[in-house]
Structure 1
Amino acid sequence: MIERMPSRFIPYTPDIEAACPQFDEMLQTVIAKTERFIAESVTAEGTGLAVRDAHAKGYGIVRGEVEILDRLPTEYAQGIYATPGRHDALVRFSNGSPHAGADARLGRATGLALKMFGIGGPTLLEDEPDTGTFDYALINAPVFFCNTVKHYLFIQELFLDAPKYFAQGPPGRHRFYREFVTGKGSLEPDEWAWEEFLAFLTVAQRPLVNVLLSTYWTMGAVRHGDYIAKVRLVPDPGRAAAVVHRAIDLTSAEEVFRPALVAEMRERPYAFDIQVQLCADLERMPVEDLTVEWPERLSPFVTVAKLRLPQQDISAEETLTKMDALSFTPWRVTAEHAPLGEIMRARKEVYRRSSLQRHRLNHQQRREPHSAAEVSP
C-alpha cells in the first residue's frame, strides 16, 4: 500500500477568518451609503439609469467557453475543478470606478466579471441557490486597498467623491491622499492606513492597455475545496501577442477602452488561462490582509482551466443593455469556493442589496440567464 504524502499547502478550516464584533453594525452603514449613492446616480451620473456602486461603466459583454482541464494535481482538482468539462460563459469587462462618463475621468482600474453556466450544486446565495451559474468578480491588480469594513466606511466616501477631489487639481489630489491615509481624521497616527494607501497606488498605476491584455485577480482569498487560494485570469501568451489594438490613449477620445475591445474581438479570437495559487504560509500569504501580494516563490499559479472567447461582434447597443441587466457577485459560487476574509464577507450583502436596488430603479427584471446565448447570441 502506498501512503499518500501530506500536502505542503494550508488546509482550509473556518478559524482562518477573524471575527469583528462590530461587523454587522458597520456593514449596515456601508449598505445605507451604497443604496443612497445608487439612488442619486440616476441623475448624478448623466445616464438616466442607476449605476453600480463599483464597476459602473461596462466596456462590453463577450461570449465564451470555459474548459476545465483533465488530470489536474489533486490539490488543484477541487470543487468545480474536480470534474473536467466545458461550460458556456459570459465575460463583462468594466472600469473599476463607481462613476460613468469619459474614460479619462475614471482611472486605470479595470475589471473582468466571469459567469459560467451549467455548474451543479447550490450557490451560497440563499435567495437564488439553484441558478446553475458560477461567478468570478476580478480586478486588474494582485492587491486591494481595503482590509476591514471600518476602513471601507471612509474609503467608500472618498471614492464616491473622487471626481470632486481630483477636479481641484494638485490641492484636491493632495487632500484626497491625506484623508485616505488618516481615515478622514478618524484614525490615530499609529493606525494611519499606509499599507492600504500604497495598495491604492499600485491599483491606480496599472498599465493603460486593451482590457484583453490585463491579468485579473480575485482581490481576496477564496476557499479551494480542502485548501485556500487566490484565483487569477492571465492572457494566453500566444493570443496576447497577436493583439493589434494594444495601447490606450486617454487623450484621444472620450471612449477608448470599449472601441479597442470591440475592434479586437471583431478581428480574432482570444483566450485566458484560469489559474489557482494555493496558500502555503498564512503569515506571508494572509487571508485578512488584502494589501499583501502572495509570493509566487512560495506557491506558483497553476492553470486549471482555459477561457476561450471566439471571434465575435460585440458592437451592438443592445448587448450593452443586456450587459447592464446582469448581476455578478463573488458569492454566486458553491461552498467549496466560498470567499474568505472580512471584506469578502462584506461584499455578499453589499452586492446583493446594490443589485436589488439598481434593478428596481431601472425597471429591470433581476434573474440569472439560463445560457450565454440569452445575452450574447
Structure 2
Amino acid sequence: MAAQFVPYTPDVEDDDPHFDQNLQTVIKKTESYIAESVEAGGTGRALRDAHAKGYGLVRGEVEILDGLPPEYAQGIYATPGTHDALIRFSNGSPHAGADARLGTATGLALKIFGIAGPTLLEDEPDTGTFDYANINAPIFFCNTVEHYLFIQELFLNAPAYFSQGRSGAHRFFADFVTGKGTLAQDNWAWDEFLAFVRLSKIPPVNVLLSSYWTMGAVRHGDYIAKVRIAPAPHFAAAVVRRAIDPTSAQEVFRPALQAELQERPYAFDIQVQLCTDLERMPVEDTTVEWPEQLSPFVTVARLRLPQQDISGPENLEKMDSLSFTPWRVTAEHAPLGNIMRARKEVYRHSSIARHKLNQQPRTEPRSADEVAGHRGNSAQ
C-alpha cells in the first residue's frame, strides 16, 4: 500500500533564486499595512494583514485516533491520545467591518496543546503547541512570492477599487491578471485569477459547516499531504442556523456560531490526503485541487467542540491576543512550497508588529486553560 504514495524528499520543492529578495518586500508591505491599520482599519487597533476579523475563540479537544494505517500514523498522528485545543474562526479578508463587505472566505486556525518535540520556529521551539491555519477552499490564489507582491497590494487596496463600481472592479480584475501591467502576456496570472474567482463564489454558510484545508502541501512524516478539517456529518446535520445572509445585519457569522455552540456540542474530522502523483497533485501550484479519486481523505483525528458560551467581549480580546502560524509544527509536518515558506516569516513579522502596536504581550500559551478557563461538556 505504501508504494503508491510519493515519498517526501527535499527536492519536491522548487528553488526560487529571487525568493529572499521578494520575501523582504512582502514583509515590509505587511508591516506597513499593519501600522496604518491602527488609523485606517476602523477599530483603533492594529489588524492582522489577513483574517483580520475573528468570529470567535472556541475551546476544543483533539483526539488522535488509534489503529491508523502506518502511512497515516505519521508524526504527531503516530501517538493516539487526547489534547486540549483552541480554535479561532475568522474571515479571510485583511479588512474589518460589516460581514457583507468582507466576502465569504473564512478560516479555521487550530492550536493543539501538549505536543512533544521542537517546533520549526527558531524563536519559540519548545512551546508544546502545534498549529493549523486553514481556509475554506482546497485551492489558493497565489503560486509564487513574486506574484504575491502585487496580489497582496490588490487585496489591501480592494475597497478603493470596488468603491468605484463596475469600472473599479474591471480595473481590479485587469491589474490582477496582468500583475498591474508587469507581466508579459504569455505569463498573465490566469490560473491564479481563476482560483480567486472560484474562492469569491463560495456560498455563505455557518462557519461550522465549512471544510478547511491547508493552503498548500505539508510534509506528513515520510510522505506529502494536504490536511482538511471537515464537519463530522452527524454534528453537521444538527446545525440549525445553516445558510447565512450577510446583507441581513452587520454581524451574521459570529451570532450564528455563538448560538449553535450555546445549544449543542460540535465536532470536525481532521483528515489527511496523501500525494500519489506529483504532476496531478503538485506541491508548488496551489491553484490545483488534488483529485480525491487519486487519493481520498482519511480521518486521523477528531476535533471536538464542547457546548460553550463565546458571547462575551473577553472572548474577542483573548482571541485577538493569540498568534497562529502553519510553521508552529514539528519537522515531520513542515509546510512545503515557496508560498508556504513565505508564510513563515510573514506571519512572524506580522505577529510581532501587531502585538507591539496593540501593547499586547506576545507569549505562546502553555495550556488552553491559561487562555479560555475551565472545560465545558465535551462533544460525543
Q: Secondary structure at the match of 2:246?
A: coil
Where does residue 236 of structure 1 map in the other structure?
232
Distance in 2 separating the partners of 1:135 and 1:116: 6
Q: Deviations over 1:57-84 (max 9, x none)?
A: 0000000000000000000000000000
Structure 1 residue 7 displacement after superposition: 2.1
Distance in 2 separating the partners of 1:368 and 1:207: 34
Where does residue 338 of structure 1 map in the other structure?
334
Amino acid at match of 2:187: E
- Say if 2:194 is the partner of 1:186: no
Where does residue 303 of structure 1 map in the other structure?
299
Is the Cα contact below 8 Å between 2:91 and 2:104 reproduced in 1? yes
- Say if 2:106 is the partner of 1:114: no
Q: How many residues align?
A: 373
State, as a whole percentage, how many aligned pairs show the same letter. 78
Structure 1 residue 167 displacement after superposition: 1.1
Structure 1 residue 251 displacement after superposition: 1.2
Q: Secondary structure at the match of 2:276?
A: coil
Where does residue 134 of structure 1 map in the other structure?
130
TM (norm. structure 1) is: 0.98
Structure 1 residue 375 displacement after superposition: 1.8
Amino acid at match of 2:20: D
Q: Secondary structure at the match of 2:269?
A: strand
Distance in 2 separating the partners of 1:365 and 1:196: 37
Unaligned residue ranges in structure 1 (runs of 5+): none
Q: Secondary structure at the match of 1:38?
A: helix
Where does residue 94 of structure 1 map in the other structure?
90
Q: 1:6 to 1:81 in 2, by over 3 A?
A: closer
- Say if 2:367 is the partner of 1:371: yes
Q: Deviations over 1:131-172 (max 9, x none)?
A: 000000000000000000000000000000001111111111
Structure 1 residue 6 displacement after superposition: 4.9
Unaligned residue ranges in structure 2 (runs of 5+): 374-380
Is the Cα contact below 8 Å between 2:2 and 2:71 reproduced in 1? no
Where does residue 50 of structure 2 map in the other structure?
54
Where does residue 35 of structure 1 map in the other structure?
31
TM (norm. structure 2) is: 0.97
Q: Deviations over 1:25-46 (max 9, x none)?
A: 0100000000000000001011
Paired residue for 2:223, among 220, 227, 248?
227
Is the Cα contact below 8 Å between 1:58 and 1:94 reproduced in 2? yes
Structure 1 residue 273 displacement after superposition: 0.2
Is the Cα contact below 8 Å between 1:66 and 1:89 reproduced in 2? yes
Distance in 1 separating the partners of 2:57 and 2:253: 13
Runs of 4+ aligned structure 1 residues displaced above 4 Å come to none
Q: Secondary structure at the match of 2:58?
A: strand
Write out aligned runs for 1:257-268 (5 A): 257-268=253-264
Is the Cα contact below 8 Å between 1:319 and 1:375 reproduced in 2? no
Distance in 2 separating the partners of 1:237 and 1:202: 25
Amino acid at match of 2:185: P
Amino acid at match of 1:265: L
Paired residue for 1:213, among 209, 215, 232?
209
Paired residue for 1:248, among 223, 228, 244?
244
